[in-house]
Chains A and B, each alone.
Chain A
Amino acid sequence: MAWTAPKTWALGALVSASDLNEQIRDNHVHLKLLVNDSGKIPALSSTYVADLSGANLTGVAKLASANAFTAGVHNFNGGTGARLVLPVGSDRWAT
């Protein structure tokens, strides 16, 4: 259901059924896409988020920037399919 820009209501205008269906019903249906019946966003997935980049999030490891792990065990052997690929190439030390 497409979004319709809310109209500016004017004095003396007749509010038609079409107006209410478009402006209230349809736009509310559109807004309902993001949330469940309790009004909560079900998941951070492509169904609900157009851009899933975590670049602006805090406190998590980022794929495209530096990450400084300050605590905890980072276990790369948590499952039989787990693998760790180290940097490959000349002089790949951190600076």
Chain B
Amino acid sequence: MSWTTPRTWTHGETVTPAMMNAHIRDNQLILKTTRSTAGRLSELSSTTLADLSAANVTGLARVASGNTFTGTSTFGGTSSVVLPVGADKYEDLGGGLRRGFWVEGDYLHHIASNQTTEWRYLGTYVSTPAGAVAGSVWVEGDDVHYIDASGLERRCSPTSSGHSDAAAIGGSTWVETYVHWIRESGSLEKPGHADVSHSDGTVHYDTHDDVAHGDGHSDVGHADSHADVAHEDTHADSHTDVHEDHSDGMDYSDGHADIPGEDSHADEAHSDTHSDIDHEDSHSDAHTDTYSDHSDHGDVLAQSQPTVVT
């Protein structure tokens, strides 16, 4: 059956069944093809539409162009989400502004809400699942999991300082300065980073105890000995006193001669010995320093703490 161009009916003409069947019955059946008995388009299929392209349909996501979702998009059931994977997979808005959420190498990157600062998380290695698609991302328990560029599953742990909103949907994810998400079940927000309040001024004490000790020593015994070599000190003095006798009228002569003498002595060899008393130079100093430092503040685990990418 095909469409027949409707004829122009004229007064007084004989209307034949063929005319009526072709122009009325068959054309109406053609017009009825796409419609339900209630008068609506039956379905969007090749039965009712010659061209199924939705290029002119509005309000649908397109696979080959940009999409701006203004409502809540939920990837539930068995669905999966794959983020862009590669270097600098953000949208460049111009003027230094950017936005995006992607996987680059081992890291999970995002642009902060200021559209300027790029952050990245290094998730803790979890496993190497066979067949996992790089860039896959999901919420599991408290954590955000992702498959890095090498196919490794990693997870980012949050802090526990989020708030709970009864209307929040598990898995909701968004960017503030850091990535925030709602944990798998329940409605508790999990910030990707938050400093836990702390005090660096906690008083602490350093104490120590000196253990009593004794200083004792013992010198190793030894002998100092020497031997003086015997010797003789000898000398010989000789002189002659010459004088003239005064004359008392009778000359006389005094003459004498000092006989050279010898002073001799002999040093006796001897030994000087002494012994030092043995002793020990030893002591044991022992003390114990005990202290209690203040507790460091509890930032989120290292693997979850995002770092700025410059």
Contact = CB atoms under 8 A, between A and B. Distances in A.
Are the chains A and B members of one assembly? yes
Interface of A: 1-3, 6-11, 13, 15, 23-24, 27-28, 30-31, 33-34, 41, 44, 46-54, 56-61, 67-79, 81-95
B112 to A, nearest CB: 12
A58 B66 CA distance: 16
A80 B28 CA distance: 49
Nearest to A27: B28
A61 B68 contact: no
Interface in B25-81: 25, 28-29, 31-32, 34-46, 52-55, 57, 60-76, 79-81
Interface of B: 15-17, 20-21, 24-25, 28-29, 31-32, 34-46, 52-55, 57, 60-76, 79-82, 91, 99, 129, 131-133, 136-140, 144-145, 147, 153, 169-175, 181, 184-185
Nearest to A65: B79
A51 B42 contact: yes
Contact of B52 (A6, A48, A57, A70): A57
Contact of B44 (A15, A49, A75, A78): A49
Contacts of A10: 17
Given A59-B54, A68-B63, A88 B43 contact: no
A34 B36 CA distance: 10
A61 B20 contact: no
20 contacts: A3-B32, A15-B20, A33-B39, A41-B41, A50-B36, A53-B43, A56-B44, A58-B54, A72-B65, A74-B67, A81-B72, A83-B73, A83-B169, A84-B172, A85-B74, A88-B76, A88-B140, A92-B138, A94-B132, A94-B136
Contact of A59 (B34, B64, B66): B64
A75 B68 contact: yes
A8 to B, nearest CB: 7
A49 B41 contact: yes
B28 A31 contact: yes
B193 to A, nearest CB: 18
A85 B70 contact: no
Nearest to A76: B69
Given A54-B44, A87-B80, 16 more contacts: A6-B25, A13-B17, A15-B15, A31-B35, A34-B35, A50-B40, A56-B45, A58-B52, A75-B68, A82-B71, A83-B174, A85-B170, A86-B137, A88-B140, A88-B185, A93-B153
Contacts of A78: 68-70
